[in-house]
Amino acid sequence: AQKVTQAQTEISVVEKEDVTLDCVYETRDTTYYLFWYKQPPSGELVFLIRRNSFDEQNEISGRYSWNFQKSTSSFNFTITASQVVDSAVYFCALSEAPGGSYIPTFGRGTSLIVHP
């Protein structure tokens, strides 16, 4: 069965600090997809990134970067120079490829609070 663990329930930082949100996953499939979503107080989940299991290249998008390591089954998310607008709940999710259980699994989320 697939599983996603976000061990950090809440993280509090001061603006301009760097922060890393951890995501550890479990799956028996060799082909799978990983996602990060942001959920601001308005409630809508906003898509941030999608990564397939065959692409371990790290990715950077502005202040956001992602570190995918299959050896440790982790897909961590780093925000550089955090801003108050980054305050939200961030979810990591896993979806297996055809042949596995399609039902995507979300972690419990990490609440990030950025103080001015």
Give me the residues that bind another protein (CB under 8 A), please: 4, 32-33, 35, 37, 42-47, 50, 52, 91, 93, 95-98, 100, 102-109
Which of 40/83 has CB closer to another protein? Answer: 40
Instruction: Single out the residue of 54, 23, 50 nearest to residue 34, CA to CA.
Output: 50
Which of 86/109 has CB closer to another protein? Answer: 109
Tell me which DSSP letter residue 66 carries: E
Q: Work out the end-to-end distance of the chain between its first and last CA atoms, rounded to an integer number of angstroms.
A: 41
Q: How far is the CB of 116 from another protein (least distance, A)?
A: 25
Q: How far is the CB of 74 from another protein (least distance, A)?
A: 17
Give the integer Cα–Cα distance in Å for 1 and 52.
18
Which of 52/58 has CB closer to another protein? Answer: 52
Q: How far is the CB of 80 from another protein (least distance, A)?
A: 24
Which of 14/46 has CB closer to another protein? Answer: 46
Q: How far is the CB of 105 from another protein (least distance, A)?
A: 8
Length of the chain: 116
